[in-house]
A and B are shown apart, each in its own frame.
Chain A
Amino acid sequence: MPSRNVGTAYLAQAAELAGNPGQLAAYNSQGHCVVLAGPGSGKTKTLVLKLARILAEDVEAPRGVACITYSQECARELARRIENLGLQQAPNLFIGTVHGFCLRHLLMPYGRLAGLPISFPLSVATQRVSDRLLKQTGDALFGQNHPYKVIDLGRHRRSVLNRNSVAWRSEEELAAWAEAYEAALRDEGLIDYDDMVVFGQRLIAEHDWVLPLVQAKFPVLAVDEYQDLGVALHRIVKRLAFDGGVRLFAVGDADQSIYGFTGADGALLMELAARRDIEPVQLQLNYRSGAGIVTASEMALGEARGYQASDPARQTTIEFVLRPGGMADQAAHAVAQIIPAALASKPGRTLGDIAILYKDYRAGDIVAEAVATGGLDHIRVDTAAPYRKVALTSWVEDCAAWCAGGWRVGRPQLRGLLDRYRAFHRASLDDSQAKREEQELTALLWELRADQQPAREFVASLRNGVVDHLLAAELALADQKEQLDRMTAALAEGGALASLDITSLGGRDGSPDHLNLLTLHSAKGCEYDVVIMVGLDLGNLPWRNETPEKLRESRRLFYVGLTRARDEVHMLYSGFVDGRYGPMRFGRSPFLDELEARMRAAGI
């Protein structure tokens, strides 16, 4: 019999969609479908159920579904939700980032044949090597302390795909730098993350024979967070869907497009949705936020979207708070006043239900200090975090969760951990070898079970037992190893996470005892009872004199922050920002002025 790995759990959950016409339409869609999903509208639930249905009803192994999402974290969240539907064992379901998809499912199988100008077997540059080459080539071209930024280089590479175009040459210095940097990478036989997508796009664009192969393997392609994925993926998607006969299921919200600086563009999603051969579906019911917050966020966005709160009766709090003492004062106020009040106002509410959101890691440092002074445990997600989340570190965290007691209730499931471990291997293993490695890993995890243990020791044992061996064999994981090394360093004596124990390592997400500190960007996709936004001053959000385009993106960032909240939003400002020569008093963020005026006008 064809092995159907899909249970029928999804059918029970799908019955709940009955009251929501948008979700139901998406669930029942047969052709290309774009789901425009407002904040809190159950987009992930819709996507997960649709994936389950497709796997159960529309495709049969060896054919499968690829689900591409913005980040490793999003992929992990999707995988977790899908695991809860009993689908974790579907080997014909790919969930991963666009990079993972391009690497494993485009470049590795077809890159050689297509004669791409990169060396095989593929080897991915570590962050360190990549940084070194960027600096070397930049300095060689423009001298030290040159004004050009790596972030702009990345945007240019990602957003201008045709190297022969005027657009590529129009930013002459960036073009020259990109070419020098890429040449240096190739000299060392390496590709970097952007290369994966750029070459993936080239492969799909230039080689017709690839299309039927991809279509055979993945007759359905799902894309989550479409607004955050750049033009390269957009081209891949269009080519596969409209030339290659791959069925598309895309989900996103252009209003939450906040990665313009990386080359992402919310307009691409709208372009898709406007096509005649696509069924557009709108999800307008907000299950997350109370009515007041739903209304206020639409005012902050300045666009009428017609979103409705699913529970109009729920009470919400929206506060504008002036703290004249600057960022530190704002943070201290949050810790001393807002948080205790919030904890007290609803029975059962924990620190994990509260988040402080800020613009960047510098603000994060100030907030973290205030939080530590206040004696609160916290989890911090921003670029100053001790390590970046990649598939490998996420897997280590989940192994910790299993060993720390998750094994008792099967959360996470061992099978899922084994499958993910298997997926780290560049090549598909043959059965006996895979079985051996799985037995080895299972034995190790079994042995490492302990409810209390320093995370340092757990990670060291896991590395000694299997991971370091894996890393030695799989050079393509070099960049992920770098993050694991940073994790290890942070856990070491004197490191930032030295006191972490195995339970906390495993519960680095969603722990009830830890206050959440995040940048606005990292908060995307998250939700909290209480959201405290700090630093809402002109000169910070937005900066002064932003271009209209930038200003729109800053507004969307503000909108994303607001829409994270279920019950309460606290917006803190001081009326000035710290400049190089002392405070600069530009006043508070104009977004606050607008919002307050509109709320007043509406009588709220």
Chain B
Amino acid sequence: MRVSRVRLINFANFSDVDVETGESIVIVGENKVGKSNFIRGLQLILDPGLSERDRQLGLEHFWDGLGEDKVGATIEVSVDLTDFTNDPRLMAHLNDCVIDPGPPMVARLTYRFQPKAGLGRAPESLKDYEYVIFGGNDPEMRIGGALRRMLPIDVQVALRDAEKDLASWRNSPLRPLIEDLAASLDDDAREEIQNQVDQAQRELAGHEEVVATAERISERLIAIAGGQHAVPVSLGLAPTRVDALLRSLRLLIDNGVRGVGDASLGTANLIFLALKSLELDRLVSEGERDHTFFVVEEPEAHLHPHVQRLVYRYFLGTRAEDEDEAPPLTTILTTHSPHIASVTPIRSIVLLRHNATDGKTVAVSTANTPFTQRDEDDLQRYIDVTRGEILFSRGVILVEGDAERFIIPAFADALGIPFDILGITVCSVGGTNFTPYVKLLGPKGLNIPHVILTDRDPVNGKPPLAHRRLINLLNEVDDEYGYDDLDIDEVLKYAAEFGYFVNESTLESDLFAAGMTEAMKSVIEQELPLRQVTRDALQEWVDDPDQVDEDRLLKLIERIGKGRFAQALAPSVSEDVCPAYIRSALEHIRDAVA
């Protein structure tokens, strides 16, 4: 079973969030954007540990954008579940909750905090409010605690005190494991342990020095209280009953030299998660639960980035590989770390973003973006190596290669468009296959404003390569019209409306034509040992740019490497020499993110 969709209305940071989700869920977002509130919303429906009072919300739980209109509004959180039809027990639980017979069959659970039914007037305060939790589309189909106990959400909050939890017997995730151990010992084993402990006890207590110390204490007792009142004392180990002994077992690290209390925060955290995960396995295998929604908030806390990535990879389902069936577990993680977002399966990402204009958090996901498997693989690799920066961008400039990656930010600076402040990222797709990125950033994906810069790539006697490239993109993003039969000029016109901009030839030729002749010449001369003939040719092109031999110029630049060349050229960039298509793209993205 998995969560397929979550809706949050008027709750906390969320005005009206409706997001589809994948196999597991990784909630990605900056601090304070509402990651924990997203989880809190799920808890309102699924957490068996919340009391009635916890579910009776306060004014502070209403979306702040409601302003004065909080009383009167209704808070609603719903979660859609799917892929449960292979388990009749889950089907039995969710019998009254089905909203779509499918396939795939979908069930919905909803929490609603609303003015009391039959109030007969407008609510005056939250005293007039009640909550209901119901299944399907019928608010009368109430969901009770039985379902929550069998399909619970289990939240490990961020920055918990793992060390303290491990130390207290009551809360320790070690406890059920020890209790299992105690129950599994047969009488013979118990007797053997008991005998060994008794013997050790006798040896220790009978030791000369130990006896002497005990006697000293006894004597002093008698001296203080007299022989009548003083109780005889001895020294020994306590406790000695097997069960009590087992309870006093502690986790030790470093070959048993140190206790967990001495471990670093990170290690304690890791141990805690390992124990918790073992406990979940046990609960499921003993039939105490039919499914667990296991939430770990920011498991990266106190962990080295490499370990962070390993922990995430573990919880995100590499576990299922050695089993025939996936465990009855839905993993939900939150993070504000790009390190972690970058190893998240792309389908699992739920991205929370603050929309400053409306004062609300919006959520997007790529759970149902129409990626092909190749798209998905490409993007996954890209996001991994770039450490997920695209996910945290508010605007993206998609470019063909490294040259643009160096030169575009320089032009942005020159034009007074501050990328860092605006949250704009330049993303090189390493070629001209923009499609997966457009899907990722488009409205069916993360819905992040983006522009494309691409070369015209003229071909003798035929339409330039950009023609087909743009038609494919336009067909991808706009299925209302067919673009196949349009000529290059029409295609360019429509493409610009979508933010796809094309130059006259290639980046370097256009820079040359735009007036960077002198600077380009000096970079080439600096980077390459040139024969005199070549120097002369360069000088001629600078003197009369119309005379330039583009092929030869590009060959020279390629000898340096386009990326290296652009990097060296960047300091010489100024507003005057900005090619028109770059200026258009920069202004377009600036307006889009503003």
A contacts, CB < 8 Å to B: 1-2, 60, 62-64, 108-110, 112-114, 120-121, 207, 209-210, 212-213, 215-217, 219, 426-434
Shortest C-beta distance, A216 to chain B (Å), equals 3
Given contacts A113-B101, A209-B105, A427-B140, contact A62 B146 (CB under 8 A): yes
- Chain A residues with CB under 8 Å of B101's CB are 113-114, 207, 209-210
- A546 nearest CB across to chain B (Å): 46
- In the complex, whether B138 has a CB less than 8 A from a CB of chain A is yes
**A219 contacts which chain B residues (CB < 8 A)?**
88
B138 touches A63 (CB 8 A): no
A432 near B52 (CB under 8 angstroms)?
yes
B288 contacts A1, CB within 8 Å? yes
Q: Shortest beta-carbon distance, B546 to chain A, in Å?
A: 72
Q: Are B52 and A113 in contact (CB under 8 A)?
A: no
B144 neighbours in A (Cβ, 8 Å): 428-431, 434
Minimum distance in angstroms from B288 CB to a CB of chain A = 7
Chain B, Cβ-Cβ closest to A121: B140
Q: In the bound complex, how far is the Cα of B53 from the Cα of A432, in angstroms?
A: 11
Complex Cα spacing A2 to B91, Å: 17
Cβ-defined contact, B95 with A428, below 8 A? no
Does B387 interact with chain A (Cβ within 8 Å)? no
Cβ-closest chain B residue relative to A59 = B92
> Which of B88, B132, B286: most chain A Cβ within 10 A?
B88
Bound-complex Cα distance A366 to B52 (A): 61
Take A216-B91, A427-B140, A430-B144 as given contacts and tell me if A109 and B287 are in contact as well, using a CB distance cutoff of 8 Å.
no
B173 at the interface (CB under 8 A from A): no
| Whole-angstrom CA separation of A467 from B289 in the bound complex | 37
Q: A109-B136, A112-B137 are in contact. Are A428 and B96 (CB under 8 A)?
A: yes
Enumerate chain B residues within 8 angstroms of A212, measured Cβ to Cβ: 85, 88, 91
A217 and B91 form a contact (CB under 8 A):
yes
Q: B3 on the interface (CB 8 Å rule)?
A: no
A346 to chain B, nearest CB (A): 51
How many chain B residues touch A (Cβ–Cβ < 8 Å)?
A: 34
Give 1 or 0 for each of B502-516: 1 = CB within 8 Å of chain A CB. Answer: 000000000000000
In the complex, the answer to whether A113 meets B92 with C-beta atoms within 8 Å is no
Residue from A60, A64, A112, A114 within 8 A of B138 (CB atoms):
A112
Contact check, A217 vs B288: say whether CB atoms are below 8 A apart. no
Chain B residues with Cβ below 8 Å from A431 are: 144-145
Return chain B residues, CB-CB under 8 Å to A112. 136-138
With an 8 A cutoff between CB atoms, is B566 at the interface? no
Q: Which of A60, A114, A217, A427 contacts B95 (CB 8 A)?
A: A217
B146: A residues at CB distance < 8 A: 62
Give, as a whole number of angstroms, the nearest-CB distance from B433 to chain A: 41
Q: Does B582 contact A (CB under 8 A)?
A: no
B143 within 8 Å of A (CB atoms): yes
6 A–B contacts, CB within 8 A, in A order:
A60-B89, A120-B138, A210-B101, A217-B91, A430-B142, A431-B144
A221–chain B nearest beta-carbon distance, Å = 14
Q: Whose C-beta in chain A lies nearest to the C-beta of B87?
A: A216
Chain B residue nearest in CB terms to A210: B101
B557 partner residues in chain A, CB cutoff 8 A: none
Bound form: Cα–Cα A109–B137 in Å: 10
Q: With an 8 A cutoff between CB atoms, is B141 at the interface?
A: yes
Interface check B44, CB cutoff 8 A: no
> B91 contacts A213, CB within 8 Å?
yes
**Per-position binary interface string of chain B over residues 92-103, scored 1 when its CB falls under 8 Å from any chain A CB and 0 otherwise:** 110110111111
Q: How far does the alpha carbon of A60 sit from the alpha carbon of B144 in the complex, in Å?
A: 18
Q: Which B residue sits closest to A427, measured CB to CB?
A: B140
- The answer, among B92, B102, B143, B287, for a CB contact under 8 Å with A216, is B92
Residues of B within 8 A of A114 (CB): 101
Which 5 A/B pairs are nearest by Cβ-Cβ distance?
A216-B91, A427-B140, A209-B101, A216-B88, A62-B92
Smallest distance from the beta carbon of B107 to chain A beta carbons, Å?
10
